Copies of this chain bind each other. A is one copy, B any other.
């Protein structure tokens, strides 16, 4: 019953959220989950105390080919924005 999927987790600036969701729509990705977070990376500390320094974590469960397409679609953002994309294996149970 469990199906092998990929979990793509996108850590990025909060202002990027609508642009990332627009990519989901373009690629036909329906399901995703967003949560607010803060952090530090090569773009410095993002303390989350106002919108311009907030991060979001966006999680998407999808199959391998879709995760490849998603990753490709996100690459242009990497140049100008704080962004980290990681992928791992999950079983989706329902």
Q: Are B30 and A39 in contact (CB under 8 A)?
A: no
Q: Are A94 and B90 in contact (CB under 8 A)?
A: no
Secondary structure class of chain A's binding surface, majority of residues? strand
Which of B31, B85, B90, B92 lies in contact with A93, CB distance below 8 A? B85
Which of B31, B36, B84 lies in contact with A94, CB distance below 8 A? B84
Q: Are B94 and A91 in contact (CB under 8 A)?
A: no
Q: Are A30 and B40 in contact (CB under 8 A)?
A: yes
Given known A-B contacts A31-B39, A42-B30, A78 and B90 have beta carbons under 8 A apart: no
Q: Are A86 and B93 in contact (CB under 8 A)?
A: yes
A61 within 8 A of B: yes
Residues of B within 8 A of A80 (CB): none
Given known A-B contacts A30-B42, A78-B94, A7 and B37 have beta carbons under 8 A apart: no
Q: Give 4 A-B pairs besides A30-B42, A71-B93 with Cβ atoms closer than 8 angstroms.
A: A35-B35, A61-B86, A75-B94, A84-B92
